[in-house]
Amino acid sequence: MDADSYQIGLENFDTKTREASNLDQISFWNEEAKKLTWFDQWTKTLEWNIPFAKWFVGGKINASYNTLDVHQTSIAKKPAIIWEGENGATRTITYTDLYHDVCKFANVLKSLDVKKGDRVTIYLPMIPELPVAMLACARIGAIHTVVFSGFSATSLRDRIDDSKSKVIVTADVGYRRGNSMNLKKIIDDAINELSFVEHVIVLKRTEESLQLNAKDKIWHELMTNSPDECEPEHLESTHPLFILYTSGTTGKPKGVLHGTGGYLTHLNSTFQWAFDIKDSDIFFCTADIGWVTGHSYVVYGPLLHGATEIMYEGVPDYPNTSRIWDIIQKHGVTIFYTTPTALRMFMKFGDSIPNSFKLSSLRLLGTVGEPINPKVWRWYFNIIGKSKCPIIDTWWQTETGGMILSPLPGLETIPLKPGSATKPIPGVDVAVVDEEGNELPTDTKGYLVIRKPWPGMLLTLWKDDKKYKDVYWSKFENNYYPGDYAIKDSDGYFWLLGRADDILKVAGHRIGTAELESNLVSHESIAESAVCGIPDEIKGEVIIAFVVLKQNTKKSEDVLRAELIQTIRNGIGPIATPQQIYFVTKLPKTRSGKIMRRVLKAIASKEKVGDVSTLEDGAAVKDVQDTFAKLQKSIKNNKS
């Protein structure tokens, strides 16, 4: 079958409905919200006080009730989570198991005086206790803030401090590539000076003895006598469900705050539409719950639908390059949702690896997080999907809560175009505009905007309404600005062209250049720094740093390079490690003092630099170019 003309989906949805739903967006979402279970019906579908949206005002709902209680009669014994550890250990957790664990942990939190609206930081690896802790918070109306377990103590401290979490949930260790990471130690370092933290709950995964501090409690001891029933709080639809920190264009990460009723409605509908979920499906999303894809399509989306899903703790190429195909074959996975970075890596390993597994259970494939180029799309379609599985390229963000652009096999038939996330989901109004906010003609590159509020949209940034307005609503009047370039073609399909701002996507992880730069200048020898991303065959983008040393710095470049890498690893985490650090005497800047990352990026990617007439000091370009050439030469000499 030719991928370009591949028609997907069931013909149970009139294609016109995508467009029609935009005309009466409010009544459309009003009907979608009714698919959830509410304690009290809302009185107003949308209160739009630009740029603050309140969805289903007056409605009362609970996220854990909708993911657990509603399944207790119909599918109580159905597996909710089939967990695979990196070392091959497995656990199966049914909907009843999950319900009782969540109730127990909700009672534990209550016993520690966690109340509605309190924040709880969760720093756990990909183990079932992570969704248990999240849903327990949701049950009592506490706001969870999950921090990816690869982040350093400094990043963690910033997030705990900003959210003022009174309880932390962690484990003694996490496993990655066969190594154990001492999470408890990272927590100890992070909360050292944070007196508002009252309790640290530690899940013990090993027999190793643990150094317990005054605030520490052991998960299993707290759970043993905790009652396994807990009444869910009846929460306002707009009650915050979680804060998820994400990189932005400033030095500090932003706390994206999501509500309950709108967010759940968005996920409930998009999960059904995009994945066409059936009772018999085995769903596998490879995202870590520390990122938004994990929140929305590992925790809330699948569990709202009573789906059975695979949760995998490790990295996709450990202990060997066939790990993922092995899991798919072993469990008969039917829907697989992953990232272009993972696919590029699998593709490089060669076709013979997936070809030696039985992948015939697969019926639907998805991708998220970065643009997928047509070559990788075709490989995914032909080699993994055996030319029979549609590919759902889904575009969305931490801030949008759920998918915004995607093919929707659960709704309609639409021909796919490799590399395009196709069209907006129903009830969302997306356009491509110019610098002034005017809609552009088709096939013209511009900025992607969302022109009306949608249910999954963030409530605001945690304790920072002003920044929320500035970041998302100031570039274009009345339009949400996601920060992406896009083109809309003459068939109404959208093609995403990468970030228009200073955010990098490294292996699908979102990292702000400003955050990296402020970490680099925190080193005593660094006067100035500038960071850009350059294309990489596997990771999509890799980080290149340029630094200017303070005068009288005595250390050698090699020593400094190693120290700077350590500074980044300590300040952010290993995912933010620069691939290369160049020492320059000046950075190219405009007359107004803005660093010209475009110039740095061009030099580092060996492209033409282009117009530099606004540069403050033309020599800076030459300096950067010379440094770059010198280093490249020495690398070459070392290799030969």
Interface contacts to ligand WTA, rule CB under 6 A: 246, 291-293, 368-371, 393-398, 421, 482-484, 496, 499, 505, 510
Greatest Cα-to-Cα distance within the chain, rounded to the nearest angstrom: 73
Residues 206/183, Cβ–Cβ less than 8 Å = no
CB of 271 to ligand WTA, least distance (A): 14
Whichever of 21 and 397 has its CB closer to ligand WTA, that residue is: 397
Whichever of 84 and 370 has its CB closer to ligand WTA, that residue is: 370
CB of 535 to ligand WTA, least distance (A): 14
CB of 564 to ligand WTA, least distance (A): 25
- Work out whether the CA dihedral 29, 34, 241, 43 comes out positive or negative: positive
Whichever of 93 and 506 has its CB closer to ligand WTA, that residue is: 506
**Residues near 558 by beta carbon (within 8 Å), at least 6 away in sequence:** none
Residues 384/359, Cβ–Cβ less than 8 Å = yes
Cβ count near 574 (within 10 Å): 12
**Residues near 256 by beta carbon (within 8 Å), at least 6 away in sequence:** 243, 244, 245, 246, 292, 398, 399, 458, 461, 462
Q: Give the closest residue to 145 by CA, choosing from 292, 313, 311.
A: 292
Whichever of 576 and 581 has its CB closer to ligand WTA, that residue is: 576
Whichever of 322 and 394 has its CB closer to ligand WTA, that residue is: 394
CB of 453 to ligand WTA, least distance (A): 18
Burial (CB count <10 Å: 0-12, 13-18, 19+), residue 193: exposed
Whichever of 203 and 391 has its CB closer to ligand WTA, that residue is: 391
Whichever of 306 and 483 has its CB closer to ligand WTA, that residue is: 483
- Work out whether the CA dihedral 270, 273, 275, 278 comes out positive or negative: positive
CB of 173 to ligand WTA, least distance (A): 26
Residues 505/600, Cβ–Cβ less than 8 Å = no
CB of 443 to ligand WTA, least distance (A): 18
CB of 581 to ligand WTA, least distance (A): 25
| The token pair that represents 6 in the structure block | 């591949």
Whichever of 33 and 496 has its CB closer to ligand WTA, that residue is: 496
Cβ count near 584 (within 10 Å): 21
Cβ count near 519 (within 10 Å): 25
**Residues near 310 by beta carbon (within 8 Å), at least 6 away in sequence:** 81, 82, 83, 84, 282, 283, 284, 327, 331, 333
Whichever of 83 and 291 has its CB closer to ligand WTA, that residue is: 291
Whichever of 230 and 531 has its CB closer to ligand WTA, that residue is: 531
Distance CA 396, CA 53 (A): 18
The secondary structure of 550-595 as a DSSP string is: PTT--S-HHHHHHHHHHHHHHHT-GGG--SEEEEES---BBTTS-B
Distance CA 232, CA 443 (A): 50
CB of 627 to ligand WTA, least distance (A): 30
CB of 496 to ligand WTA, least distance (A): 4
CB of 247 to ligand WTA, least distance (A): 8
Distance CA 153, CA 548 (A): 27
Whichever of 131 and 482 has its CB closer to ligand WTA, that residue is: 482
Residues 590/615, Cβ–Cβ less than 8 Å = yes
CB of 472 to ligand WTA, least distance (A): 11
